[in-house]
Amino acid sequence: MRSKFGYRPKNILFFAHALTHKSLLYADETLVSNERLEFLGDAVLDAVIAEYLFRLFPKEDEGYLTKVKSKFVSRKSISAIAEKMKIRNVLGYQKGRTINMSTIEGNAFEALMGAIFIDGGFLAAKGCIENHILKKYADVNKILEEEIDFKSKLFIWCQKNRHQLEFEMMEEENAGGFWKYTMMAKINEKNFGLGTGSSKKIAEQAASKETLELLGEV
């Protein structure tokens, strides 16, 4: 833990839970899976990355920060970090079953973030992510260079599957001089993802992202 995460555990039980996949519970119901810690770690990671980008890009707007943060915390990025850290070598799961190792390895990474938060607090988790994970295991420059366009990806998916895609504005409001738009992505006239933003374009991107997640394409 100390060499990879820069953290020395106080209660090793939290970390044992973080490395226990639910598939093991079929054989031993006394075990505790990492699902609850994964939920917590996901939120911690999201908060730390949000603050990190907020400080890194003081002049960028909410749309840009949201777009970049989604790349940092995407399943692809998390799984790549977990693979570099070789978490699967210490992960407990039931062998012989059809399991997506990349997914459960990434989930375990998030669970470990949750374990550090529970064991040492937010500052410990923040220090681990900023000083060790981002510097040693995440290709920050590559993440920043890659452009995200969820709307284009969704449009291509709809064309490929011969579906009709359209966006409907659900709400438009101005609070204190700042505009907020809420857009709904509709496929074949059925409601899918909902997104908000300071412009229609940003809201459509957010709606497209949520739609792709609902479709299992992200």
DSSP states of 87-155 = GGGT-B--TTS---HHHHHHHHHHHHHHHHHHHH-HHHHHHHIIIIIIIII--HHHHHHS---HHHHHH
Q: What is the pLDDT of residue 83?
A: 92
Question: Does the annotation mark 149 as catalytic?
Answer: no
What amino acid occupies position 39? F
- Given pLDDT bands bounded at 50, 70 and 90, which one contains residue 84? very high
Q: For residue 32, what are its two tokens?
A: 């505790």
**53 & 82 share domain:** yes
Number of domains in the chain: 2
pLDDT in tens, 182-194: 999 999 999 999 9
**Residue 42: exposure state from Cβ atoms within 10 A (0-12, 13-18, ≥19):** middle
Question: Does the annotation mark 42 as catalytic?
Answer: yes
End of a domain among 114, 145, 176? Answer: 145
Active-site hit among 42, 60, 130, 213: 42
**163 & 126 share domain:** no
Q: What is the pLDDT of residue 182?
A: 94
**30 & 99 share domain:** yes
- Decide: pTM greater than 0.75: no
End of a domain among 145, 161, 196? Answer: 145
End of a domain among 145, 177, 196? Answer: 145
Active-site hit among 38, 105, 110, 204: 110
Q: What is the pLDDT of residue 200?
A: 87
**137 & 45 share domain:** yes
Q: For residue 182, what are its two tokens?
A: 């809420």
CATH of the domain at 162: 3.30.160.20
What DSSP state is assigned to residue 25?
G
Q: What is the pLDDT of residue 98?
A: 64
Domain span at residue 46 reads: 2-145
- Given pLDDT bands bounded at 50, 70 and 90, which one contains residue 1? low
Q: What is the pLDDT of residue 60?
A: 73
**78 & 134 share domain:** yes
pLDDT in tens, 41-56: 999 999 999 999 898 8
**129 & 154 share domain:** no
**177 & 190 share domain:** yes
Who has greater pLDDT, 145 or 116? 116
pLDDT in tens, 87-137: 989 888 877 666 778 888 999 999 999 999 999 999 999 999 999 999 889
Pairing of strands 178-187, 165-175: antiparallel
**77 & 95 share domain:** yes
Q: Give the residues across from 64 on adjacent strands.
A: none
